[in-house]
Amino acid sequence: MGAVFLNIPWGIVLILLPLAAAMACFLWPAVAKSVGLVTVSVVALSVVGLVWQVIESGVYRHAVGGWGAPLGIDLYADGLSLLMLAITALVGLAVSVYSTAYFEQPLSARFWPLWLFLLAALNALFLSADIFNLYVTLELMGLAAVALTALSGGRDALSGAMRYLLAALLGSLAYLFGVALLYHGFGSVDIAILAQRVEAIPVTWAALGLMSAGLVLKTALFPFHFWLPPAHASAPAPVSAALSALVVKGSFYILLRLWLKIFGPLGVDGVEGLLGLLGAAAVLWGSLQALRQTRLKLLIAYSTVAQIGYLFLAFSLAMGGGVMAWGAAAYLALSHALAKAAMFLVAGNLLRFGGHDRISDLDRVVQRLPLTMAAFALAGVSIMGLPPSGGFIGKWLLLESALVQGRWDLVAVMIFGGLLAAGYVFKVLGYAFTQAAAPHEAKAVPASMEWAALSLAATAILLGFLASLLLSLVGIGNPFGAGEVTP
Amino acid sequence: MNAAFLYALVGVGLFFLGLYALIVHTHLLRKILALNVMGSGVFLVLVALAKRTGNATPDPVPHAMVITGIVVAVSATALALTLMVRVAAETGRAELPDEERE
Amino acid sequence: MGRHRWLLFLLMLALTIGLACAILSLPDHMEGLQKVVANKMEVSGVSHPVTAVLLNFRGYDTLLEMVVLLLALLGVWSLGGPRPRSEIAPGPVLDCLARLLAPVFILVSAYLLWVGAHAPGGAFQAGSVLGAAGVLLLLAGWRLRFSLAQLPLRLVLIAGSAAFVAMAALTLFGAGRLLEYPPAQAGILILILETVATVSIGVTLAALFLGAPPEQKEKQ
């Protein structure tokens, strides 16, 4: 039984099943919800299966078509891919449960195929080892995300989606240009082969610049973050959760892979410093803007901008020689995904409850929606980086790396950022306890929506206790090249 | 430097010409067209440099990549154009509100 | 504003020159993967290298690309399409042209599909021509009958991607590897995939042109 279980190609199931399910939902909208839920559950199980497979048999590499790189495309799963797949499955499961209650016809019939395609795109992205294939998955993910953002159809959603689409396409084209240069420079688009062949010639610098710029735009790093708050704030709540938690991590993952394998070993100093500087600016700017917001979804969206800054701080510290910072990046990505998704689901609950998301008008929701506000509080704990939570572990590892490298400026930024985060989280919680000026008619919020938000937030806290387990999992296959220090 | 490089340089020029137009123009249709021009530039670079094989047939892999790229570009353009029409219907103008950049 | 434009222009110029120098520094002669592809052509099932790469060696990219096209249509349909305009009856020239040209387009599309095995051509080229035929017919005022525009239309639209996914699943559980065609049947399998894909691509492109999703309820 165990042997049979191990031999099923779980990685490929992760890609093919959501594709097939999305097409089924398109054909028969009436069964879309059930098909969607079943698919997401099987996807979650498949991730468990893949994790077991990788733990037993080592890194998973599958040559599609039997050709193998450089002729064919390779699928590849190591610890980092597993982490991203796990995040996708967890958030995907919660968002799907939430969406069964959130969307009604006709929006429901449009949502499920697009959502399942987005899941397929994410899984395909995290499993790919071919930079051109990554371009196709990036576009698949981007188009699905844009279509989902525009789903509510209002004026804000449409212009937010349009801006998002233009930025996404620009980023993808810059990335593709880099792919073209790398192929014509070194004769392959496979990451492992490029890692062996790459040299420090002008074409490589051009590709590095183009691909980094494109991916940084897609990850909404300051100052390229302009498209994120309008898009994430005006999308339907479960879509916002998926966008902030998963979609921006997709382009960050590709940037990570490119730098870890191809560009990093070349020993570029300036770019890491620049990214670290932009990351610090993102933390400060995003947190300050979040404090200023009057609408909850915009506050949460700017908080995403700030948290992305932390990811790039970790990236910069890690490339500067701190291997510990990679663990920080992994932990930050994971806990942010869970906590931020929980926050957006909470915002959706509040919207359903009161019909608005104005922070100052939250009418004693702590008493009337206790589960929801508990979810927000727990998620806030992780975002602020308080113990015990995943966010705390991530920030702790980050602070340690900064201290080890003597980067007192970054330590100051992190501390200040944490204070600002506490500011905007407590702002919301504060208003949640008070009575609004004029009491509102309240609509009931379905239990599944409340529990989905709460379980995500609770998992973010739970991560605080699983540090050693998760960090050893991420290290499978040595994705971070521990032991190599850039000269 | 042979003829292939000349086409590749045209591709680079198209890319940055399109990027300039994307940033500078505010009308959405012009932005979408600018993105298409940039895409054509990248495809030209891919295909042109594939001709460097000497007397043998050109390298077929970039050609296949460009076919894939064209289909992706068409799909994205279709979605962008429909979004533009909807934005224009909702706001009365085919421009992004509160334009700061891009 | 004028000053900003000049600065931007200079920046673009500088980047262009920089990239041009980088590209010019590439060697004059590089064969890339041309020889690798040429060596494997006998087992690919077709005799044209681009078709072989697209449908066999890098068939996984093609699978995802079919899905991207379908996804764009889903996105366009979920946006609701443009405001319905009053339908103008086509003039006699357009009407006649559409009737004459549509069959020609379909024949050319079929030829392009067939010839793709040994010369430039294949599913995407044929599908584009078919899509153009669809656009011409739509411009001439032709619309699908209501009963055909629901499930049958949707089946045709997903057919291309579904065929690829089905092929992927079959090869996975048959040969053990994703999209690995047995060399003897590779040619016929590719032809089947391409045919289904052509029809699907053509219909999707025409639907993208029309923009609006088909009416859910029968209108008088």
In sequence order, which residues have a C-beta less than 8 Å from that of residue A48 and are 6 or more positions away?
Answer: none
A467 band by pLDDT with thresholds 50, 70 and 90: confident
For residue C203 the two structure tokens come to 């219909």
C 63-102 near A (Cβ less than 8 A):
64-65, 67-68, 70-72, 74-75, 77-80
pLDDT at A483: 39
> Residue A1: pLDDT above 80?
no
**If you average pLDDT over residues A142-171, what whole number do you get?**
94
**If you average pLDDT over residues A143-157, what whole number do you get?**
93
In sequence order, which residues have a C-beta less than 8 Å from that of residue A218 and are 6 or more positions away?
Answer: A138, A142, A167, A168, A171, A172, A175, A248, A251
Q: How many CA atoms lie within 13 A of A478 on its CB side?
A: 5
pLDDT at C160: 93
The verdict on residue B100 lying in a domain is no
pLDDT at A245: 94
Contact A213, A255 (CB under 8 A): no
A 418-477 near C (Cβ less than 8 A):
none
The two counts, helices (H) then strands (E), for chain C are 8, 0
Q: Which residues of C touch B1 (CB under 8 A)?
A: 24, 28
In our burial notation (b when 16+ CB lie closer than 10 A, e otherwise), range A154-173 reads: eeebbbbbbbbbbbbbbbbb
The verdict on residue C141 lying in a domain is yes
The verdict on residue B64 lying in a domain is yes
Which chain B residue's Cα is nearest to C59? B64
> Residue A126: pLDDT above 90?
yes
| Residue A186 phi, psi dihedral angles, 5° rounding | -130, 0
Q: Would you call A454 exposed, middle or buried from its count of C-beta atoms within 10 A (0-12, 13-18, 19+)?
A: buried
A352 band by pLDDT with thresholds 50, 70 and 90: confident
Q: Which residues of B touch A139 (CB under 8 A)?
A: 72, 75-76
> Residue B101: pLDDT above 60?
no
The whole-chain average pLDDT of chain A stands at: 89
* Bigger pLDDT: A470 vs C84: A470
The verdict on residue C64 lying in a domain is yes
The C-alpha of B57 sits at a distance from chain A's nearest C-alpha, in angstroms, of 16
A300 band by pLDDT with thresholds 50, 70 and 90: very high
| Residue A190 phi, psi dihedral angles, 5° rounding | -90, 135
**If you average pLDDT over residues A3-24, what whole number do you get?**
88
The whole-chain average pLDDT of chain C stands at: 89
Contact C117, C47 (CB under 8 A): yes
CB spacing of C32 vs B61 below 8 angstroms: yes
Three-state secondary structure call for residue B53? coil
| Amino acid symbol at B73 | A
CB spacing of A155 vs B39 below 8 angstroms: no
Mutate which of C11, C170, C177 to test chain A, going by most A C-beta atoms within 10 A?
A: C177
Q: What is the DSSP letter of A227?
A: T
Does residue A388 have a cis bond before it (omega within 30 degrees)?
yes
What digits encode the pLDDT tens for the residues C51-97? 999 999 999 999 999 999 999 999 999 998 666 666 677 788 888 99
Cα separation, C149 vs C151, in Å, equals 7
The verdict on residue B96 lying in a domain is no
| Amino acid symbol at A253 | Y
Which chain B residue's Cα is nearest to A73? B61
> Residue A282: pLDDT above 60?
yes
Q: Which residues of A touch C65 (CB under 8 A)?
A: 136
Nearest CA among C56, C23, C54 for reference residue C42: C56
In sequence order, which residues have a C-beta less than 8 Å from that of residue A481 and are 6 or more positions away?
Answer: A260, A264, A265
The C-alpha of B21 sits at a distance from chain C's nearest C-alpha, in angstroms, of 10
A405 band by pLDDT with thresholds 50, 70 and 90: confident
Q: Would you call A251 exposed, middle or buried from its count of C-beta atoms within 10 A (0-12, 13-18, 19+)?
A: buried
Three-state secondary structure call for residue A417? helix
* Full residue range of the structural domain in which residue C117 is found: 48-81+90-210
Q: Which residues of A touch C59 (CB under 8 A)?
A: 64-65
**If you average pLDDT over residues A454-476, what whole number do you get?**
87
**If you average pLDDT over residues A57-81, what whole number do you get?**
89
> Residue A3: pLDDT above 80?
no
Nearest CA among A419, B50, A21 for reference residue C30: B50
> Residue A53: pLDDT above 80?
yes
Q: Which of A297-301, A354-358, A390-394 has the lowest mean pLDDT?
A: A354-358
pLDDT at A363: 73
Given the cut 0.90, state whether the ipTM is greater than it.
yes
pLDDT at C216: 66
CB spacing of A180 vs B97 below 8 angstroms: no
The verdict on residue C14 lying in a domain is no
Tally of domains in chain C: 1
Contact A92, A40 (CB under 8 A): yes
Other beta carbons less than 10 A from residue C38's beta carbon: 15
* Full residue range of the structural domain in which residue B42 is found: 3-91
Q: What angle do CA A115, A116, A118 make, to 5 degrees?
A: 65
Nearest CA among A486, A468, A184, A168 for reference residue A327: A468
Nearest CA among B67, A134, A68 for reference residue C51: B67
> Residue A468: pLDDT above 90?
no
**If you average pLDDT over residues A373-394, what whole number do you get?**
90
A117 band by pLDDT with thresholds 50, 70 and 90: very high
> Residue A484: pLDDT above 70?
no
Of C12, C26, C53, the CB nearest to B49: C26
pLDDT at B1: 62
What digits encode the pLDDT tens for the residues A435-454? 776 666 677 788 888 889 99
Q: What CATH code is carried by the domain that includes residue B77?
A: 1.10.287.3510
The verdict on residue B98 lying in a domain is no
The reply to whether B94 touches chain C by the CB within 8 Å rule is no
% of chain A exceeding 70 in pLDDT: 97
What is the separation of C-alpha A323 from the centre of its chain, rounded to a whole number of angstroms? 22
Tally of domains in chain B: 1
> Residue A486: pLDDT above 50?
no
Three-state secondary structure call for residue C33? coil
Q: Which of A325-334, C5-14, C163-172 has the lowest mean pLDDT?
A: A325-334
B84 band by pLDDT with thresholds 50, 70 and 90: very high
Chain B touching partners, 3 or more CB pairs below 8 A: A, C
Which chain C residue's Cα is nearest to B59? C34
* Bigger pLDDT: C92 vs A366: C92
Cα separation, A264 vs A242, in Å, equals 30
Give the H or E element holding residue A38.
Answer: helix A32-57
Q: Which of A1-15, A147-161, A276-290, A334-348 has the lowest mean pLDDT?
A: A1-15
